Structure 1
Amino acid sequence: MIITRTPLRVSFAGGGSDLPSYYEKYGGAVLSTAINKYIYLTMHPYFFKSGYFLKYSEVEHASKVDEIKHPIIREVFRLYGIKGVDFSSSADVPSGNGLSSSSAFTTGLIQLCNAYKELYKTKAEIASEACHVEIEILGEPIGKQDQYACACGGLNFIQFERSGEVTVEKVYLTSDGYHRLENNLMLFYTGITRSASSILQEQKSNTTHDTKKIENLHKMVGLAGNLRDELLRNNIDAMGEILHQGWLLKRELASKVTNPQINDWYERALRAGALGGKLLGAGGGGFLLFYVQEQNHQRVRDSLSDLKEMPFKFDNKGTTIIHFNKHSLKGIFQ
């Protein structure tokens, strides 16, 4: 049996610039971190030695790879020639949350298949392959930041070159700065799940043809670089203002990024002392992130008492194999 653990991610600035419709013209950059909320994937030989037994949010029995309904599982298994396996997945948080659960799943599955086949790829190679599966094979209207954040782990400044090349720069903070940043970030679950595809499709169209929205993305990329520089100077509180500036820009990129209820929660948190925040992922629901100095934590919690808070820490390992029983790979019939 093999088990992989892949972190979800929180993106702070530059989101949207990882879409090819933008970075192929201008180049892009984001600043994000992996967090200690995970997707767990398990695989071992199937009792019947052929076909597939798959357990995720649904249960599937398939005799051939083409019969697998789950698109990511089908295409990754096809890519690696996986057959005769019992596969299952579980997660710390629900899907459709803005924390990159889909890309974490893809990244973890590629790590799992490499281990099952006794192959090795670097984390950057795993991220690149996850992008290939999601964007090129499945045609999802998504960007590249999530795959690299989930695969590599840590606090990163990720750049997207016009050529398509991706570079991951670790952002190293002082011990005090790291603790303050981790401590002063607060996540609240809105209870609204959504598909990012329609929002991203509209955003892609807008940032291809609308000059003002393209300019917004230029500014958002600049904020990612500014945030990196401020954090490296140990100006941790700059996170609040930069999150707020980014949110004001982001909500103009597509019509469904926010709504009156989300705006109300956001304003309530600011009145209670949050220095800034944003809705994670494409928008429309999922998690609200706020930067809040410690003395105002309880006031913000009280102002958002109708939402579920999710405490978290940073993850520095990225996608990881947490259990590998090589003997089991020989199959249960031998």
Structure 2
Amino acid sequence: MSRTNIMSRTPLRLSMGGGGTDVESYYAARGSGAWLSGTINKFVQVTVLVNNLGGYIVKHGKKVEIVGRSGEIVHPLYREALGFMRMDEWTHRVYSSPGLEINAFSDAPTHSGLGVSGAITVGLLQILHWLRDSSIPPPQKIAEEAYHVEHDLAKSLNTGWQDQMIAAHGGIVSFEVKKGEKPTYQRLELDRHTLAELESNLILFGTKLEREQTANEALGEVHKKVKSASGKSNLDYLDEILEIGKRQKLALLNGEVREFGRLLHKHWEVKTRYAGPPDPIIAQAYEEAIDIGALGGKVIGASSKGAFMVFYCPYTEKGNLRRTMSKLGMVEIPWAFEFYGSQIVYND
């Protein structure tokens, strides 16, 4: 039997506005949700090797699982993706001694807030479609399947559509989802000056903190806080997040990049009220960044405690921001927008 080795490359993302309104508990209650995301040049690479060893070898993080059938895999994303694609049936039908070895490599930690799990699922489904069908569905279809695998089959019920949709489509994209429907999308065709200013003045830092929870667990904790001290529910706060996200989209389309930065600060104020106080190091970093001249910023991910922070900082103050964050132990992460979604990059 010939060995087949296939690799997909899927971009990670920055959540740019409206995050949290992509979750079913919000848009089912309010009728719709909308958010803005952008993919960056940090990636997840998934490889699948067809061999003659039989069964499955699944490597994720520092763990290796060796099992006979897909249903025996412990990791829910791999187990449910393989089951959804009926790979047990396919390997036995096509090969006499079937076996699949699956590896995933990421430029960021699993719980980084950059959409790693969604990127893995999208990239894996692309490969499995190519193996089984010799073709790949359109990005929207892949994203819908990945959401079904994670949300419905793997029971990641507190998470939303954002990660799978942006990983499949790539670029800077605005999404909307209505109750009982699938999301729709609009690519933001920004002029080159707006894009250059946005990319130059958004500065990404690694906090060296680790969010031990999955996104599903982090969002679950937030959802338990039904009422705040002021009597407002999380839905009320997410209404504000939704409106801020819509204003951020308009700001970018109108070339008002500094306004986008100021709206990041509005987002920070609302999110810290409903998601809880940030880690003291993150709170200090944000306060000092604003004092220096940053217009706004956010923790990337599902909570106010995360591995990455991004600030919008005008060019004249970027040096001061870098020095201050370095003193706090944070590391700047070079990045750029990536305008292609998940792709097969190797097939031998």
Superposition TM-score, scaled by structure 1 size:
0.93
Task: Give distance in 2, aligned partners of 1:205 and 1:132.
Answer: 24
Q: Does 1:100 align with 2:115?
A: yes
Alignment-mate amino acid for residue 226 of structure 1: R
Q: Do structure 1's residue 143 and structure 2's residue 160 form an aligned pair?
A: yes
**Alignment match, 1:258:** 278
Say whether the 8 Å CA contact 1:213–1:252 is kept in structure 2: no
Do the aligned partners of 1:187 and 1:287 also contact (CA within 8 Å) in 2? yes
- In the TM superposition, residue 241 of structure 1 has moved relative to its aligned partner by 0.7
Q: Does 1:45 align with 2:50?
A: yes
Aligned counterpart in structure 2 of residue 277 of structure 1, from 278, 292, 297? 297
Q: Is 2:106 aligned against 1:85?
A: no
Cα distance, 1:260 vs. partner? 2.0
Correspondence 1:7 to 2:11: yes
Q: CA deviation at 1:112?
A: 1.4
- 1:58-79, CA deviations, whole angstroms, 9 ceiling, x for partnerless residues? 1221111122122111111111
Identity %: 32
Q: Distance in 2 between matches of 1:111 and 1:154?
A: 18
SS in 1 for 2:189: coil
How many angstroms apart in 2 are the aligned matches of 1:208 and 1:7?
36
The AA in structure 2 aligned to 1:135 is H
Gaps of 5+ in 1: 326-334
Structure 2 residues not aligned, in runs of 5+:
92-98
In 1, the alpha carbon distance for the partners of 2:181 and 2:301 equals 21
Aligned amino acid, residue 315 of structure 1: E
Does 2:80 correspond to 1:60? no
Match of 2:94 in 1: none
Q: In angstroms, what is the RMSD of aligned CA positions?
A: 1.6
User: For 1:311 and 1:36, how far apart are their aligned partners in 2?
Assistant: 9
Aligned to 2:218: 199
How many angstroms does 1:87 deviate by? 1.5
- Residue of structure 2 equivalent to 1:123: 139
Distance 2:190 2:120 in 1: 29
Select 1:114's aligned residue among 119, 129, 132. Answer: 129
Distance, in Å, in 2 between the alignment partners of 1:321 and 1:119 is: 11
Q: CA deviation at 1:248?
A: 0.7
Q: Which residue of 2 is the match for residue 331 of structure 1? A: none
Matches of 2:71 and 2:238, distance apart in 1: 39
Which residue does 2:192 correspond to in 1? Answer: 175
Residue in structure 2 matched with residue 34 of structure 1 by the alignment: 39
SS at match of 1:111: helix
| 8 A contact 2:227–2:233 mirrored in 1 | no
- Decide which of 230, 238, 259 is 1:238's aligned counterpart: 259
Greater shift after overlay, 150-159 or 196-205? 196-205
1:138 is displaced (CA, Å) by 1.3
Contact preservation (8 Å) 1:19, 1:204: no
**Residue 205 of structure 2 is aligned to residue 185 of structure 1:** no
Is 2:112–2:301's contact at 8 Å kept on the other side of the alignment? yes
What does residue 154 of structure 1 align with?
Answer: 171
User: Could you list the per-position Cα deviations for residues 208-243 of structure 1 after superposition, in whole angstroms to 9, with x for gaps in the alignment?
Assistant: 996343222111111111111111111111121111
Once the two structures are superposed, what CA deviation does each residue of 1:232-276 show, in whole Å capped at 9, x if it has no partner?
111111121111101111112233x62222111111111222110
Equivalent pair of 2:174/2:186 in contact (CA under 8 Å)? yes
Deviation at 1:307, TM superposition (A): 0.4
Letter in 1 for 2:294: A
The offset of 1:157, in angstroms, is 0.9
- How many residues of Structure 1 are paired with residues of Structure 2 in the alignment? 323
Q: What is the aligned partner in structure 2 of residue 330 from structure 1?
A: none
Moved more, 178-187 or 189-198: 189-198
Alignment check: 8 A CA contact 2:223 2:234 kept: no
Deviation at 1:202, TM superposition (A): 2.6
Letter in 2 for 1:34: T
Question: C-alpha displacement at 1:41, in angstroms?
Answer: 0.5
Judged with a 3 Å threshold, the aligned counterparts in structure 2 of structure 1 residues 157 and 181 are, in CA distance, closer, same or farther, namely: same
Letter in 1 for 2:285: W
